[in-house]
Structure formats: structure tokens, C-alpha cells
Structure 1
Amino acid sequence: MKLGTVLSTLTSSKLRIVLVGLLLVGGAVGGAFALGILGIPSVAAVDNTFGDVTNETTVVETDLVVSNPNPVGIGLDGVSVNYTVSMNAVEMAQGGREGVRVGTGNSTIDLETDLQNDAIPAWWVSHVRNDERTTVSIDATVTSDRIGRSVDFTREREIETDLLSAFNSDETRPVNADSALTDDPILYVNETRGQWGSVSESETPIDMEFTVYNPNIEPYAITEIGYDVTMNDVEMGGGATDEEYVIQSRSLETIGLTAALENERLDEWWVTHLDEEVNGHQVSDLRIEFYAVIELPSGTEVTVPLDELTYEETIETDIFGEGDDVRDGGSGSDGDSDGSDSETDSGNTSDDENTTDDGSTDGETDDGSDGSTDGSTNETDDDENTTDGENESDDDDDGVLPV
């Protein structure tokens, strides 16, 4: 027999033995999984933070903790992990990895994925339509192709804001023309009201009402009220009324105005909202400024900045629960912010909120408030102290979710 034939026979035999051995080992491992002798890897925790932000994308950095309950590690044999981040069912980011090696116990897998900033307007619309509430959902799955089984993990976090309630006020505020043609104040604003209008994909309207009192013996006409809305100094919208209102002598008149935020500008605002150097991480200033064009009894029109009506509110979010400093970092100038968050992990949520209301102001004289001449009014300031009683641990029960 030739030497080459002998070597070929021996090599083929050894190769067959190795292949058979591998098949037996693989079958034994697969059978052990199937019989429950070995456990299926599961997801013990998913922690997300925001990374670098550009005008187009926002990096979501993910630490995904995979728990392997087996006494041996699992190699690159078809184990994959996938996760999705959604806000009010709007998919914001999706990522994963195949061929994952996990040791015994808990192993942390670092992942990065891009959130497309042009998804922010769709989320914003859902947030406003849902009474300024957002459910942040993080869904993760570990799959073993070898045995065709997977284990799911879900975490949900509730985000709430309150951008308009502080605009609702019974405080009496003077309107001064600062003109030699008339005495100040020429009008009083005794009441302001605001609520979200019918939100569309393109704009977010704010329906506003102003109760105006004329203390003069002659009627005054308001031919135009204009507004400008900014969020972190990003121009969000501006416009003016096209209806004239005549306020008779010693009379009240309610003036309506709709201020619209242009949703296409929200992705530009989003970049500033995450920028630590602007106002702090996930902190924004909402500002609405007004002006009025008033026709005096002489027929002269004057443009009056309504500085006393300028509305400012702070928007604070903590979308991934990155820290209490985001929620408690500050409050708005003319009202307390309400960026309260509550987190649900495995169905456990604890929010203990204590709110105290206490406030009063002395009104103007002859301002028409409450239909009287002393003009006394009561103003309520909401000083809200929120405590999130969240005691959360990713290592509960050794960090292993039951399979």
C-alpha cells in the first residue's frame, strides 16, 4: 500500500472521529439544554445613556447585562442579543449583536446605536396627545440558535411634563404703553388661560385666552396680538391674531390667541436639550413673549411689548433614569417645572409626591378684577416637591431572571 493512501486513510479516519466527537458533544449540550440540565442565558438588566449628539443623530449607549446560569461559559455558537428603545410606541433606537460570548454569571455587553433625530417630532406629538406623558420601553431578547429558544426582558419608565398649567393665572398685570399720548396703565390683563390645541404632525398649537379690562372712560381697540415661542433659544414659532377686539370703557373683554410650535424644528431643539453646556443635560427653557398693537381713542396705534405676560417654564426629563440631578436640577422662572419621572421594572413603581400650594398677591387699584375697584386678586404658586421612591437593583436575586 502506498504511503499517500495510508496517510489519507488515517487522516480521514481522524477527521471522522473528530467530527463525530463534536456532534456528540454538541448533541449532549443541546440535549442538556432541552432537558433543563443547563439553563438558557437571560437578560438581567439594560442600562441606557445618551452619548454624542449631532444635528442628525443621537448615540444611545447601552450596557446589556446577560446572565448565564450555567457553570461554564458559552462561546460564539449562535447566541445573539437584540434590543429596542421605544417612547410611546414610537421606535427610537434598535440594536444588537450576534455571536456573543458570555461567561458564567453576569456579563456586560457594551452596545451603541444611533437614534435618528427626525424621530423626535413623532414622539413629541404622542407626548402632547397623551397629556404630556411618555412611556419609555426597553425590550431586550437573548436568543440561542443552537436550541431555538429565546428569553425576553422589558423595562418601562414613565416620563411626565407640565408645560402649561402655570400659564393659568388670575394675577392682575398692567399693560403700559410708555407713551406721552396716554396715561399708564392703559389696560389690565386680569386672567390668562392656556391649553394644548389639536396637535397635528406638523404643528403643536397652544390655545390661549386673555381677559382684558379697560379702566379708561373711552374705548380702546386691540388690533393685533403677536407671539414668539422659543425653546432653549431655538425659534419654535411666531405669529399674530388677525381679529380686532374693542374693549369698552370700564369693561372686560376675552381675547383668544393660538400660538403654534412648528414640529419640524423639534429635532434642532432636541440637540440643545441634551447639551450639558446649554442648560444642563435634558433641561430646556420654554419662553413665550407677547406684544399688542393698541389703537388709542385718537386713532393712533402703538405697539406695546407685553413684558408682564412673558411666560417661562422649564422642561426637564430623565428619559433613561440617568440620575436624580436631572429631575431636581432647577425650576422655571414663572412657575415650577414638573418633569417628574417614575420607573417600572418588573412591575414595581413607587412615587411619593407631596405638594403644597400657598400664595397670595395684592391686586391693582381700579383694574377691574373681580368686577370691583380695589382689584384684589389671589394668585396661586405651585411649589411642588417630588420624591421618587425608587429602590432599584439590577442584582436582585443574583441578577438572574427566571427562565
Structure 2
Amino acid sequence: MALDRVVATLTASKVRTALVGLIVVAAAVGGAFALGVFGVPSVAAVNNSFGEVTDEKTVVETDLVVSNPNPFGVGLDGVSVDYAVSMNDVEMARGGREGVSVAAGNSSIAFQTDLENEAIPPWWTSHVRNDERTTVAIDARVSSERLGRGTNLTRTREIETDLIGAFTSEETRPVNADAPLVDDPVLYVNETRGRWGTVTDAETPIAMEFDVYNPNLEPYVVTEIGYDVTMNGVEMGSGSTAEEYVIPSYGSETVELTAALRNERLDDWWVTHLDESVNGHQVSDLRIEFYAVVELPGGERVTVPLDALTYEETVQTDIFDEGLHRGSGDESASGSGGSDDETTDDGASDENTTDDGTSGGDSTDENTTDDGSNDGNTTDGNTTDDDDDDGGLLPLSVD
């Protein structure tokens, strides 16, 4: 009996010691998190691309890289990941996950979010009003409800286009009537100018001017100039002038025309812009065709196609910095400017944070391996790993 009591006493003592040890460890871990000794998982990178496109929706495919600085995995019910994509402050897509578990190091999680094509017209009007400039902003956040902390990553990219800049020209182009008993050319267009007008929710106007010269002894009357605008074959607008212009003998006159793009057709154009089978991914051809109705000296009116004035411009974009069109040598390719990444921690400063936990005023954009060392190569904030099998992205599970 005495031996049994001794054994029981020793066993109870060991259990109490183990429980105390577990409590101490739990308290130490909790305190370490609270004091910031262990880090809260953060967003290391966000990579987006366009997926399937329909008449109503565009799929945005997102690969979000979460960095866990701790030597062990983190799996808390309160850990969530959220991100949003905006263009000139127009929200284009938003997504997220809750109940995320991440292994030590870098982990990757894939999202698919629908971009409603009806958001394209508001973005377009902001793009034109901003001199054909767009700021693409990607905001991602990893937060822990239990720890009451979170980290943010903001990536911005500048996109620029020039759809109508080349319309302004001093090239002289003839206007031929191709009519019996009429000597061509009946007129010359010596200069053209174009600029965006006042954009509304309904239409995007292009204000155009044509300096027309009459090389003949008799005056000619231009009773109408009409236009048809297409983008990747989508009819964007058509119309004509309502004012007559008399071009005096051996004299010049400036003819004005406003061509209006119907913004309600922009979502139809957007589908073709992303359709690689049309012109290539994120490639569009703008085409404006003109015609004139000219009253000849005898009173006869002829409709003259102004083929020499047909305006064509190709525009390319790379909205998510996928590396499209690089090395093509095409000066019309747009999307200049790199990506700026900014990582912030709740309650911390707004300085950019590198993967090793140090902070500085400027983003390093250096490749970072899983052991925290830098290899000196410059990228847009993407992470790499020495193991070619997983590309530096460790498994991530969702509870």
C-alpha cells in the first residue's frame, strides 16, 4: 500500500508538472505573439491575370502569396485574406478567404473573382478624363481576428494610352469626287486636329477639325461630313455634321466635326480587347472612317468617301503587368511604369517592409529565398525558392 501511494504521488506530480509546462509554453507563445516576437502572416505578393470572358463578366484569376515568418505553421479560425482591384478608384473586383492555414515560409492561395463588365464604362470615362491615364491599385490584407493584427500590401501600376494623338497631322491629302466631267482633286485637306471633348456617362466625344483648301476656280460647298467609329469591329458611334461649309476658290476653310463614342458599347468592346483570337490579348484597333457630301458648281451633290482621311490606331495594354507585348518593338504598346509595392502592419509605420522584417523608405524589389537571404536580382516583388519543384510556394490549406 505504501508503494502504491508513492507511485500515485509521483504520477500526480509528473502530471502537474506537464500541465504547468503546457500552460507556461502556451502563455509564452501567446505573449510572444502579443509582444510581436512571433510575426503575423503577411502578403508577400499578388499576381493577377484575366481568365474567361463572357458578355457579362470577366474572371480575374489571382495568385496571392502569403509569407509566414514563424518557424511553424499557423492555422487559426480567425485568419482571413482579402483583396480588391480598382482602376482610377473604380472598384473592379473584390475577393477573399477565411479560415486560412499557412505553413512556415511562403504559401500560395488561388482566387477567382468576377469582374462585372458593366464596370468598364465608368472606368473608361475616368481614363479619358485623366488624359488617358489609369492607376491600377491592388490592395491585399492578411488579418488575424484572434491576435487583433493584420498586414496590408498595396501594389499600384500606371497605364497610359494614346488613342487619338496621331490624328493631329499636317499631311496634305486629296479629296477626289470620281464624278464625270469633274477634275480631281476637288479639295485638299491640309491639316487635321483632334482632341477629347467633354466626357459624359453616355458618350465620349472627339472634337475634330479639318483645314480644307479649294484649288479650283469655282467655290465648293461641303454640305455634310459623316463618320463611323469602330473598335475591334464593334460599332462605337456614327453621325455627321449639321452645318454647311463654303470653300472659296483658291481659299481655305476649317470644317469642324464631333465624333461621339457611345459608352454603352464599351463593355462589348472590352470582351474583344481581352479576346486573343481577335487581335491578341489586350489589343484593340481603333478605326474612324469619313465621308463628305460635296455640292458641285452645277448644283449636283456627290458623296465622296474620304479614304485618305481614314484614321487607324492600335492600342495595347498590360493591366496586371503580365509581361504582355514586351520585346515587340511596337511604339503603340501602352502600360508604362512599374509596380510599386507597399506593405504595412497595423499599428506600425507606413514604410515599405522587406521580407526579412527590416523596413526602409524605398521598396527593395529583390528576390527573397525562403531562408530570408537576398540574391540581388530585381523583380516586381515576386518570391523565389531554390527548389525548382515548388517555385518557392509552399502548400496552403483552407479549413
TM-score normalized by structure 1?
A: 0.79
Partner of 2:275: 275
Letter in 1 for 2:247: I
**1:302/1:155 Cα in 2 relative to 1: closer, same or farther (>3 Å)?**
same
**1:195/1:22 Cα in 2 relative to 1: closer, same or farther (>3 Å)?**
farther
Quick one: which of 380, 383, 386 aligns to 1:392?
A: 380
How many pairs were matched up? 337
Letter in 2 for 1:342: G
Aligned pairs for 1:2-401 (under 5 A) are 28-325=28-325, 329=328, 331=330, 337-346=332-341, 391-395=379-383
Deviations 1:240-285 (A, max 9, x none): 0000000000000000000000001000000000001000000000
Deviations 1:310-332 (A, max 9, x none): 0000111000011142x55475x
CA contact (8 A) 1:163 1:337 kept: no
**1:63/1:246 Cα in 2 relative to 1: closer, same or farther (>3 Å)?**
same
CA distance in 1, matches of 2:23, 2:111: 33
**1:176/1:71 Cα in 2 relative to 1: closer, same or farther (>3 Å)?**
same
CA contact (8 A) 1:162 1:338 kept: no
CA contact (8 A) 1:48 1:63 kept: yes
RMSD (Å) for aligned C-alpha atoms: 2.4
Q: Which runs of 4+ in 1 moved over 4 A?
A: 19-28, 327-331, 396-399
3-state SS of paired residue (1:185): coil
Partner of 1:352: none
Q: Unaligned 5+ residue runs, structure 1?
A: 1-18, 350-389
CA distance in 2, matches of 1:267, 1:25: 58
CA contact (8 A) 1:163 1:338 kept: no
3-state SS of paired residue (1:67): strand
Deviation, 1:35, is 1.5
CA distance in 2, matches of 1:130, 1:153: 25
CA distance in 2, matches of 1:98, 1:219: 75
Moved more, 24-33 or 218-227: 24-33
3-state SS of paired residue (2:100): coil
Deviations 1:279-323 (A, max 9, x none): 000000000000000000000000000000000001110000111
CA distance in 1, matches of 2:48, 2:324: 15
Deviation, 1:76, is 4.0
Partner of 1:370: none
Letter in 2 for 1:297: P
3-state SS of paired residue (1:34): helix
Moved more, 67-76 or 299-308: 67-76
CA contact (8 A) 2:49 2:62 kept: yes
CA distance in 2, matches of 1:259, 1:157: 31
3-state SS of paired residue (1:95): strand
CA contact (8 A) 2:44 2:381 kept: no
Letter in 1 for 2:339: T
Deviation, 1:338, is 4.7
CA distance in 2, matches of 1:397, 1:50: 26
Deviation, 1:32, is 1.9
CA distance in 2, matches of 1:85, 1:60: 9
